[in-house]
A and B are shown apart, each in its own frame.
Chain A
Amino acid sequence: MADPEHRGPRPTGFDTLTLHAGQRPDAATGARATPIYQSASFVFPDTDFAVGLFNIERAGHVYSRLSNPTNAVLEERISALEGGVGAIATASGQAAMHLAVATLASAGDHIVASRSLYGGTHNLLEYTLPRFGIETTFVDPRSPDAFAAAIRDNTKLLFGEILGNPGLEVLDIPRVAEVAHAAGLPLMVDATFATPWLCKPLDFGTDIVVHSATKFLSGHGIVIGGLLVDGGTFDWEASGRFPTLTEPYDGFHDLVFAEEFGPQAFITRARKEGMRDFGACMAPTTAFHILQGLETLPLRMAKHVENTRQVVAFLDAHDAVASVSYPELAKHPDHELAGKLLPNGAGAVFSFELQGGREAGRVFIESLSLFSHLANVGDAKSLVIHPASTTHHRMDAKALAAAGIGEGLVRLSIGLEDPRDLIDDLGRALRRASRA
């Protein structure tokens, strides 16, 4: 009789993977740290090997736009942390997003996306991709039914952020994935705010993950970079909607990616076509910097979350604050879902609405000392921004409201400082704002 309590070997732990996945001591020098292979191209051992590299019959590097040994370490590491089959490091999170869309969609195709998105992503989907014939329907991220209702015959992708920007709506990944898969579509999730330490979207049914590696993955705020991770879970052939993966590709001697590369079809096409032709590659030095940050991801994220909890508690009790939006608060509409998808914490970015609206927001931000007013999140240092006048300034009042952004909304990214200093800084600024 078979044992019903089957148990596989214990997998390598997350903390170990953040330090070791994708890299061994350098064979040539013994270097323990990942070397920066700052080289545009790589010498071929012989002509036949060269042909083999171009023909995808050899493994290795040709030209750093396509792949690079330093970048490859980062790509393997994020794949390991997310639980995917492979990844591509890109010039930015925007480049990763574009690479994914361009690999799956062509002119005449359609995307269904959450309407609570990073402003840059919103711009790409709302204004720029339509110029290339790809349209997007934006829907309420809290309504899987709205995702389902927006799907058309030409839809290629469902997309959302695990934590919406800036309202922190928690995407119900299991239910939206169910909607996507029922329609023969993949779900792609931007997991920038969570990092795999807080949530691995692939575990909940996501098929593709994108990151802005500029943020928490790096943690230091010194580079721009993106990562595209293929879960290898989606059956492109069964879907029948993805000719870029299931039909012969003229640009590669009639190669059918899904047939030859199976679970790695998407990431292989993205590299062999998207990186080759669009060329939004990551600099090897950037990959090195991101790797240095990743090595401390578990330590940093735990501290980010702990600091955030203290700051949220302070603001939530403050008279000058009209409301605080953070999924760990019981009053947040997605509190229960956050507990399920983000058991280690709901991240370190959140927003709150000041009493006094736009003018109070201006005075508040300009009164802060430790918090830096800039357009970024996920730095080791605490950051602040006023979305209505910066990241989302192209949206009119109606669109802002639809995205859950008030005119007095302030977004904070809580860093690794002593939380008492952060609270003191916020308290001083709130006093000035309340007098405005």
Chain B
Amino acid sequence: MSGTRIEVAGATVYVGTGSGKPASDAACVAFVHGAGMDHTVWALPTRHFARKGLRVLAPDLPGHGRSNGTARSSIPAMADWLAGVFDATGVDQAAVVGHSMGSLVAWQFAQSHPDRCRTLALLGTSMPMPVTDMLLNAAKDNHHAAIDMANAWSHSPGGSLGANDNPGVWMLGAGERLLERSGPGVFHADLAACNAFNADEADGVVNCPALVIAGDEDRMTPARAGLDVASHLAGAKVVRLAGCGHAMLNERPNEILDALIDIVTER
């Protein structure tokens, strides 16, 4: 099977596993998707790490993808929910990888559950992560313009014309369809949570090994913001992708996986 279903906080949650069949003592890697998305954005890396024998958890956040429940309204609430996924699957600790909103969740998780975060990888990140009123208002009305804005701004100017490494896949179309699957109110809840996130309210310290991946042409979370996040993580490694936008898992799938391998498998 490609994934599994578990119960977390009274709701059924879908967790992508990359079709893995890990050993009971396998190290774990958890992936947290971005606003309005689901676990399918991690299709390639989840399959890689599953083949490598890691236990893979790529949950659909509440109300997203195949998971039931209500979308959480804050990043800390999402991080606590992620801890619930760990509890429900019997996972003590994992490498935690997050993209965009998921990067905030991963960072918050590392703050509030430091013993459970072995390593941390933040893709397309920014703290704070402000969202324009134009996008928030459109998402609040469940208007397609919100999808159009997010999808267009998530791709680099070059990426908006395609030519990715995944044969025959039109990135803009794929991104649009995925966001269209998001239920009413879910995208807005995510964006509002990003907009309201305040890293200064976290009182912990992230001490685990960390990686930040930044796209030089990221219009949603500019590379300089990602570098600033990295500067506050002791010893964090940085991978900059020239010409890459925010939708880096689509634009540069192989380079993303290459960058993740060390941090995810580090013990």
Contact = CB atoms under 8 A, between A and B. Distances in A.
B257 interface: yes
Interface in A325-361: none
A271 B168 CA distance: 10
Contacts of A75: 167-168
Given A3-B137, A76-B169, A80-B162, A264 B174 contact: yes
A84 B44 CA distance: 21
A57 B181 contact: no
B16 interface: yes
A412 interface: no
A254 B1 contact: yes
A29 interface: no
A9 B160 CA distance: 12
Interface in B174-231: 174, 177-178, 181
5 contacts: A2-B137, A57-B44, A76-B164, A76-B169, A260-B46
A30 interface: no
A248 B48 contact: no
Chain B contact residues (Cβ within 8 angstroms of A): what range? 35 or more
A75 B168 CA distance: 5
Given A24-B158, A59-B165, A85-B169, A260 B254 contact: no
B51 A233 contact: no
A86 B173 contact: yes
A235 B160 CA distance: 26
Given A8-B144, A87-B168, A232 B177 contact: yes
A401 interface: no
B259 interface: no
Nearest to B161: A20
Contact of B138 (A6, A73, A259, A261): A6
A7 B143 CA distance: 9
A6 B145 contact: yes
A90 B138 CA distance: 40
Interface stretch (B81-89, B91-99, B105-113, B146-154): B146-154
B164 A256 contact: no
Interface of B: 1-3, 16, 18-19, 38, 40, 43-48, 51, 65-66, 134, 137-138, 140-141, 143-149, 152-153, 158, 160-170, 172-174, 177-178, 181, 253-254, 257
Contacts of A71: 167-168
A251 interface: no
B132 to A, nearest CB: 12
Interface in A51-74: 51-52, 55-61, 66-69, 71-73
A62 to B, nearest CB: 10
A84 B144 contact: no
A259 B167 contact: no
A263 B169 contact: no
A264 B162 CA distance: 16
Given A57-B257, A255-B2, A86 B170 contact: yes
Given A20-B161, A66-B167, A253-B19, 17 more contacts: A3-B134, A23-B161, A24-B163, A52-B51, A60-B254, A71-B167, A71-B168, A76-B164, A77-B162, A84-B173, A86-B170, A254-B1, A259-B66, A260-B19, A261-B43, A262-B40, A262-B65
Interface of A is mostly: loop
Contacts of A17: 161
A99 interface: no
B146 A72 contact: no
Contact of A58 (B44, B164, B177): B44
Contacts of B147: 8
Given A2-B140, A88-B168, A263-B174, A12 B161 contact: yes
A298 interface: no
Interface string A211-241: 0000000000000000000011101010000
Contacts of B177: 85, 231-233, 262-263
Contacts of A427: none
A122 B200 CA distance: 67
A79 B168 contact: yes
A56 B44 contact: yes
A288 B256 CA distance: 30
